[in-house]
Amino acid sequence: MARRRAAASSEASQAALTNILVVGSGGREHALCWRLRQSASCGDLFCAPGNAGTAAEPGVRSVPASHLRSDDHAAVLAFCAANRIHLVVIGPEAPLVAGLGDALRSAGVLVFGPSAAAARLEGSKVFMKDLCAKYNIPTAAYATFGDAARAKAHVLAQGAPIVVKADGLAAGKGVVVAQSVEEACAAVDSMLVDGAFGSAGATVVLEECLFGEEASFFALVGADGVAVPLAACQDHKAVGEGDTGPNTGGMGAYCPAPVVTQQMQDAVMATCIQPTVAAMAAEGCPFSGVLFAGLMCPSDGGAPRLLEFNVRFGDPECQALMARMTGDLAALLRGCAEGRTAEAARAHLRWGGDAALCVVVAAKGYPGDFRRGTPIEGLPRAAATGALVFHAGTALDESKQVVSAGGRVLGITAVGKDICAAQKAAYAGVDALGWEGGFVRRDIGWRAVAREQGRA
């Protein structure tokens, strides 16, 4: 009898576990897998396609693209059925915009991530700006154009600085903050005439240039329409130190962002996040997943204004968020997907380390031309410093050597009692690497460090 009860208890415990498929191949997905694997409620955990880091992460099974492609919705559904997947966490924006979440939900699979209609908040800057205008969500003044001549006439009328944005997805590179009319007109021609971003740049948004300090604010939104704040981070978009040079997908990030005070967080939830969630429901495309608001925080401490929305965890912000999070992420995300958001947040949303900082190690030449396939040495040494080594653009060659496979290759992440301590620990991990083909910015976290040292 006792043996039967023990077996029944074991079966019930197993049934309570959540089998999860994480879709994506970047540093964000590695960080999510690392944190999910530490969740008490996490059962089998797969990452498709993953990278060399997820392949080596204990308890994570990478499914290479040769076996499963996220754009083959039927194959993803078959994989979920064969592996009894309870929850799919979609990391990147492209599968969300392409409707992978819709296909899964139609088959009864829980999804953390928005529908294709809701993912237009990121997939179309025109949609996002029009929504903000209609529902009085504070953002920059704008105009949209599909004709280069009319767009350049608007630039001449408005003057510079002015922001030129491709309407669609451009891997974080479709935004030009033009300091001169000539630069703005060149950006317009690049997108509308030369087709630099293909169909994503067939329409451009010309925006008022806002001034202040940028921050990334994250909130979880459940299937019940309940929004719960996570935290604010600060990303470093420019490739060069001192925030110089062209934009990238992000050269590093830290969390929390001191510029976003509790008062400002409350204001963002009240004037930006909650109204957007309500607006999307009113438009017939309710949002669920991560709502990532890119903010401009004025230097005078005034109310922040919305720069853009993303519909997923940021990369590299996610690495810093996951390094600080200590609760059961699997239970939290499942609760959101099931529409039990407030209950799940109360039970499972927990924060640990006071601060976390991620330094992106990129391939030399990025965001321009760069080499792939160069061997990366020193990964065990970096990990031995106590830093977390999250892989982004990596792969394994035929000899199982970790090699570079993208522009942003690693995210060396560390926690500390403050940003200064986290920065020191992260760069200790960076300096333990032996990869001659990579480079980093040496000033990640500089604004927060200046504040902590009384220099700002």
For 244, phi then psi, to 5°, come to: -115, 160
Q: Would you mind telling me the total number of residues written for the chain in this entry?
A: 456
Which letter, b or e, does each residue of 422-444 get, where b requires 16 or more Cβ atoms within 10 Å of its Cβ?
Answer: bbebbbebbebbebebbbbbebb
Instruction: Give me the sign of the Cα torsion angle 156, 296, 412, 428.
Output: positive
The enclosing H or E element of 416 equals strand 408-416
Higher-confidence residue of 452 and 412: namely: 412
- CA dist 320 and 137 (Å) reads 28
Structure token pair of residue 456: 């700002």
**Region 298-304 average pLDDT:** 80
Looking at residue 456, its pLDDT comes to 63
423 pLDDT higher than 50: yes
3-state secondary structure of 218: strand
Structure token pair of residue 141: 């003044």
Sequential DSSP letters for 2-26: HHHHHHHHHHHHHHHSEEEEEEE-S
Query: For the segment 240-266, what is each residue's pLDDT rounded down to a tens digit?
Result: 999 999 888 899 999 999 999 999 999
Query: For the segment 146-171, what is each residue's pLDDT rounded down to a tens digit?
Result: 999 999 999 999 999 999 999 999 87
- CA dist 187 and 401 (Å) reads 40
Q: Where does 252-363 have alpha helices with state H?
A: 262-268, 274-282, 317-324, 329-337, 341-348
The answer to whether 265 touches 216, Cβ cutoff 8 Å, is no
The answer to whether 73 touches 111, Cβ cutoff 8 Å, is no
**Region 386-392 average pLDDT:** 98
- Partners of 232 in beta bridges: 217
Instruction: Give me the sign of the Cα torsion angle 240, 244, 250, 256.
Output: positive
The answer to whether 24 touches 91, Cβ cutoff 8 Å, is yes
Query: For the segment 108-159, what is each residue's pLDDT rounded down to a tens digit?
Result: 999 999 999 999 999 999 999 999 999 999 999 999 999 999 999 999 999 9
2 pLDDT higher than 70: no
- CA dist 228 and 291 (Å) reads 10
Q: Give the list of residues 6+ apart from residue 35 with CB closer than 8 angstroms, or none.
A: 322, 325, 329
Structure token pair of residue 183: 């630069």
Sequential DSSP letters for 351-390: B-SSEEEEEEEEETTTTS------B---HHHHHHTT-EEE
- CA dist 359 and 27 (Å) reads 11
- CA dist 394 and 96 (Å) reads 23
**Region 213-232 average pLDDT:** 96
Looking at residue 353, its pLDDT comes to 74
The single residue listed with the structure tokens 């929504």 is: 131
All domains in the chain, ordered by first residue? 18-114 (3.40.50.20), 147-202 (3.30.1490.20)
- CA dist 272 and 266 (Å) reads 10
Which letter, b or e, does each residue of 86-116 get, where b requires 16 or more Cβ atoms within 10 Å of its Cβ?
Answer: bbbbbbbbbbbbbbbbbbbbeeebbbbbbbb
The overall average pLDDT reported for the chain is: 94
Sequential DSSP letters for 129-178: HHHHHHTT--B--EEEES-HHHHHHHHHHH-SSEEEEESS--TT--EEEE
- CA dist 424 and 121 (Å) reads 36
Q: Give the list of residues 6+ apart from residue 61 with CB closer than 8 angstroms, or none.
A: 44, 45, 46, 47
**Region 90-106 average pLDDT:** 97
Looking at residue 196, its pLDDT comes to 92
406 pLDDT higher than 80: yes
Structure token pair of residue 215: 């921050």
7 pLDDT higher than 80: no
Instruction: Record the pTM.
Output: 0.93
pLDDT category at 8 given cuts 50, 70, 90 is very low
Looking at residue 434, its pLDDT comes to 86
